[in-house]
Amino acid sequence: MDGTRFRAGIELYGRVMRYAEVDLGPRKNLAQAAEAPRLLRLGACDFDFDVAEALLDLAGPTHLDTVATAVREIFDGSRAEALRVAVHPWRATSFFSPLPEGTTPAGSLEQLKQEAAMLSDAAVRSVRVRATPVRIETMPDGRRSHWHHVLRLPDSVHARFAHIAKPLEAAAGREAAHEFVDTTAAAAAVMARLHPDDEEDEPFALALGAYGDRTEFALCRGTTWYHGHYADAAAHTDGAYFCAALLDRLGVAPQRVRRLYLYGDAAEPGMAALVSEFLGREAEPLNPLRIFNLAPPDADPFALTAYAPGIGALLR
């Protein structure tokens, strides 16, 4: 390989599989500025079955070979060495947990595995847990907690995606890896790229993901993913209620949220009107193509927000 970082990814929702590939540019040392990423592929495939349900649920037909064939055709000639899969939080065990600062990595993982087991289907015993450090919080008594995000999926799901990632093995020169990324983390990565200077004063930004009767909430502080959540409620009806509840639980005053975005399969202007009124901020489309300085003249920016999770998963 020539030192560049090529990443390929997919996002599954209903009968649609969206895909993307990016070139993050040459690896830089700390004294060099990173180059802007380049978008190499972007598109969507429609299936005649619910592809998210088929691949991420435990029961029913997986249609594995159909999806693997589609991935092989999509990424033909790709130089990506791994496949990233953006997973909506209701499709997995996904949660945040604080651990005392100073806990060893082994101790942290064991604690988070136990918490994941308590929140998951006890009948599924063969699983993998991914724990990602997110942020450090100082408690009122001075103790410091390190918040982690936990994503837990059955081994059978991992096996399916190991098979789907096989077309990338030629580029990798070995068994191709796959990695799951929570879609709220992916949305946060897009927000961070759109406003990299926010690291200076660390304002909050909130993105709502509209997916039928479910709404995702991705919260950033500066360029750091702060929290992710979802609710079984539509953004245009109950989004403001769940937004207020989330901010209250996190101790974030509404006026500290300086940017509001909307993304998702069902995103459209006005959908976040009640949230906009609550926060006093107009909702913008979380258009990931802005990262690449691409602006298709005839494209609806709200329609393009459906690609935010797939692209964001490649930018983390």
Segments making up each domain of the chain, as ranges: 4-89+156-182, 97-152, 184-315
- Output DSSP code: residue 258: E
Residue 37's closest CA among 154, 186, 221, 190? 190
Note the Cα 125 to chain centre separation in Å: 25
Helix (H, G, I), strand (E, B) or coil at 234: coil
d(C-alpha 150, C-alpha 108), whole Å: 11
Whether 4-89+156-182 and 184-315 share one fold: the answer is: yes
* Three-state SS at 253: coil
**pLDDT computed for residue 198 by the predictor:** 67
HEC profile of 124-154 = CCCEEEEEEEEEEEECCCCCEEEEEEEEEEE
Asked if residue 66 lies in contact with residue 40, where contact means CB atoms within 8 angstroms, the answer is: no
Strands 4-13 and 204-211 turn out to be unpaired
Domain 4-89+156-182, architecture per CATH: 2-Layer Sandwich (3.30)
Asked whether the beta carbons of 205 and 226 are under 8 A apart, the reply is no
Q: Is 53 helix (H, G, I), strand (E, B) or coil?
A: helix
Average pLDDT value over all residues in the chain: 89
Residue 131 and residue 273: Cα distance in Å, rounded? 35
Average pLDDT estimate for 179-185 = 96
Is the pLDDT score of 312 beyond 60? yes
| Closest among 104, 147, 155 to 126, alpha carbons compared | 155
Q: What is the pTM of this model?
A: 0.91
Residue 27 confidence class, pLDDT cut points 50, 70, 90:
low
Residue 141, class by beta-carbon neighbours within 10 Å (0-12 exposed, 13-18 middle, 19+ buried)? exposed
Q: Is 44 left (phi over 0), alpha (psi -120 to 50) or beta?
A: beta
Query: Where does the pLDDT of residue 191 fall: very low under 50, low under 70, confident under 90, or very high at 90 and above?
Result: very high
| Mean pLDDT for the stretch of residues 147-167 | 91
Integer Cα distance of 299 and 253 in angstroms:
35
| Confidence (pLDDT) at 30 | 45
134 in Cβ contact with 158 (< 8 Å): no
Both tokens of 284, joined, read: 């913008």
Q: Running DSSP on this structure, what letter comes out for residue 24? A: E
Unique residue bearing structure tokens 């997986």: 62
CATH architecture of 184-315: 2-Layer Sandwich (3.30)
pLDDT of 70-111, one tens digit each?
999 999 999 998 899 999 999 998 999 988 888 887 888 888
**Interval 113-126: pLDDT, tens:** 888 878 766 555 66
Query: What type of residue sits at position 196?
Result: P
Radius of gyration of the chain (CA): 19
